[in-house]
């Protein structure tokens, strides 16, 4: 029998909802000097730091013993920014904590001061929370897709996953229609999509493989996922539709609700290791909607290795009925690439 994780799920939804509010506020007011470049050359904004501070303080208040694996490192902030930015981050987090976003939401959780650390090393044993406060920071800065991502991992297995996508259309074919989606899953209990407010919760179930509508979801950034390899795979599968490009784990949410057909993320070179916070909630949401998420060789992702997923063979996610075909096409594309090299 699966465990309900009712409290953890409600807390995760509440924290992600507040962080969505915060990041939307930051985008509307973002000023140029609030974007920094981290040691690994990727961008980070006050929104990333403030959203992580907000989520981790809510988690720490409810579960003071639970370790937190967060993408952002406050030490980096101390080095690279001044007091003005630190004050601004605290102010943003505090403001989002007390917003009355939904009846009962704040009162239920209450917030106290606490020293929440997000630098846990991950691993195989025990409970841990995993936060990507803004996944797809480049999409966020372009005013396009990004996602607030939170997962509870226990003994290396994702148990609860919540993704908030403030800019995601409810229906991709109506880009000017309603926007803002939350995707929620608990292992063994299915996945749901709802509005960021929690309105209109709808169970998610991926449609079976249909070659007539099948297409790939992939990164906007060619540096994050090889567009040329996915194009080869797409040709081998005789896919006629162009890929749907969007930033962040919004791709997993879209896949789970039936957009596209597969999420394909192929390495662009040697060296980059995928991070657990970039896949933990998304992979559970897809699995609970009837999909399967593996590396490009068909091996399940291992969330118990630490902060990364280990050696990077790329990631594929699709409905079960398309998985073998997709892996086959990946293998053929790789053979072709090797033969050319």
Ligand X SMILES: Nc1ncnc2c1ncn2[C@@H]1O[C@H](COP(=O)(O)O)[C@@H](O)[C@H]1OP(=O)(O)O
**Annotated active-site positions, please?**
48, 137
Supply angle C-alpha 138, 277, 254, rounded to 5. 65
> Out of ligand X, Mg ion, none, which partner does residue 287 contact, by CB within 5 to 8 A per kind?
none
What DSSP element (H or E) covers 40? none
The C-alpha torsion from 151 through 152 and 154 to 160, rounded to 10°, is: -80
The C-alpha torsion from 128 through 132 and 133 to 137, rounded to 10°, is: 170
Query: Nearest distance from residue 220's CB to ligand X, in Å?
Result: 6
Residue ranges in the chain assigned as alpha helix (H):
6-29, 46-62, 74-80, 83-98, 105-109, 137-142, 227-236, 250-256, 280-288, 320-340
Exactly one of 57, 137, 230, 318 binds ligand X (CB under 6 A); that residue is 137
Considering the rule CB under 6 A, would residue 8 count as an interface residue with ligand X?
no
| Whole-number Å distance between alpha carbons of 161 and 191 | 9
Query: Nearest distance from residue 144's CB to ligand X, in Å?
Result: 10
Considering the rule CB under 5 A, would residue 274 count as an interface residue with Mg ion?
no
CB-wise, 62 or 281, nearer to ligand X?
A: 281
Query: Nearest distance from residue 337's CB to Mg ion, in Å?
Result: 26
Exactly one of 247, 259, 287, 288 binds ligand X (CB under 6 A); that residue is 247
Tell which positions 47-86 bind Mg ion, by CB under 5 A.
71
Count of Cβ atoms closer than 10 Å to residue 67 Cβ? 19
Considering the rule CB under 6 A, would residue 321 count as an interface residue with ligand X?
no
Total interface residues for Mg ion by CB under 5 A: 7
Query: Nearest distance from residue 155's CB to Mg ion, in Å?
Result: 23
Tell which positions 113-172 bind Mg ion, by CB under 5 A.
132, 134-135, 137
CB-wise, 5 or 129, nearer to ligand X?
A: 129
Exactly one of 67, 133, 136, 291 binds ligand X (CB under 6 A); that residue is 136
Tell which positions 253-282 bind ligand X, by CB under 6 A.
268, 272, 278
Q: Are 135 and 146 in contact (CB under 8 A)?
A: yes
> Out of Mg ion, ligand X, none, which partner does residue 288 contact, by CB within 5 to 8 A per kind?
none
Query: Nearest distance from residue 21's CB to ligand X, in Å?
Result: 21
Measured on CA atoms in the order 243, 244, 248, 254, is the torsion positive or negative?
negative
What DSSP element (H or E) covers 133? strand 127-135
Exactly one of 81, 248, 294, 295 binds ligand X (CB under 6 A); that residue is 248
Measure Cα distances from 128 to 60, 80, 124, 303, 316 in Å.
Answer: 11, 28, 10, 11, 25
Q: Which stretch binds ligand X (CB under 6 A): 16-24, 120-128, 132-140, 178-186?
A: 132-140
Exactly one of 223, 241, 311, 335 binds ligand X (CB under 6 A); that residue is 223
Cβ neighbours of residue 329 closer than 8 Å, sequence gap 6 or more: 233, 236, 237
Q: Are 317 and 263 in contact (CB under 8 A)?
A: yes
Count of Cβ atoms closer than 10 Å to residue 277 Cβ? 26
Considering the rule CB under 6 A, would residue 66 count as an interface residue with ligand X?
no
CB-wise, 135 or 288, nearer to ligand X?
A: 135
Q: What end-to-end distance do the CA atoms of the chain give, in Å? A: 50
Considering the rule CB under 6 A, would residue 45 count as an interface residue with ligand X?
no
Considering the rule CB under 6 A, would residue 52 count as an interface residue with ligand X?
no
Q: Give me the residues that bind ligand X (CB under 6 A), please.
A: 42, 135-137, 139, 219, 221, 223-224, 247-248, 268, 272, 278
Q: Which residues bind Mg ion (CB under 5 A)?
A: 42, 71, 132, 134-135, 137, 278
């Amino acid at each position: 029998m699966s465990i309900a994780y009712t409290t953890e799920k409600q807390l995760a939804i509440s924290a992600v909802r507040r962080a969505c509010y915060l990041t939307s506020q930051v985008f509307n007011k973002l000023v140029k000097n609030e974007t920094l470049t981290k040691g690994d050359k990727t961008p980070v904004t006050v929104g990333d730091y403030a959203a992580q501070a907000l989520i981790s303080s809510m988690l720490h208040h409810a579960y003071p013993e639970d370790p937190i694996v967060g993408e952002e490192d406050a030490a980096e902030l101390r080095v690279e920014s001044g007091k003005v930015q630190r004050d601004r981050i605290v102010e943003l987090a505090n403001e989002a904590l007390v917003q009355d976003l939904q009846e009962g939401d704040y009162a239920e959780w209450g917030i106290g001061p606490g020293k929440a650390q997000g630098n846990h090393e991950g691993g195989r044993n025990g409970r841990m929370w995993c936060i990507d406060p803004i996944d797809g920071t480049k999409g966020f800065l372009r005013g396009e897709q990004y996602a607030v991502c939170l997962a509870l991992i226990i003994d290396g297995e994702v148990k609860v996953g919540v993704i908030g996508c403030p800019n995601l259309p409810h229906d991709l074919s109506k880009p000017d229609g309603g926007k803002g989606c939350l995707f929620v899953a608990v292992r063994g209990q299915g996945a749901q999509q709802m509005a960021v407010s929690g309105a209109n919760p709808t169970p998610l179930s991926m449609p079976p493989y249909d070659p007539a509508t099948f297409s790939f979801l992939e990164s906007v950034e060619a540096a994050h996922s090889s567009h040329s390899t996915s194009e080869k795979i797409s040709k081998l599968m005789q896919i006629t539709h162009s890929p749907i490009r969007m930033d962040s784990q919004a791709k997993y949410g879209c896949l789970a609700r039936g957009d596209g057909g597969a999420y394909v993320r192929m390495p662009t070179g040697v060296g980059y290791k995928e991070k657990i916070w970039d896949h933990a909630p998304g992979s559970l949401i897809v699995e609970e909607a009837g999909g399967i998420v593996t590396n490009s060789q068909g091996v399940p992702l291992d969330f118990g290795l630490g902060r990364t997923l280990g050696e990077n063979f790329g990631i594929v996610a699709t409905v079960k009925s398309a998985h073998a075909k997709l892996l086959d096409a990946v293998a053929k594309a790789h053979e072709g690439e090797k033969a050319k090299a």
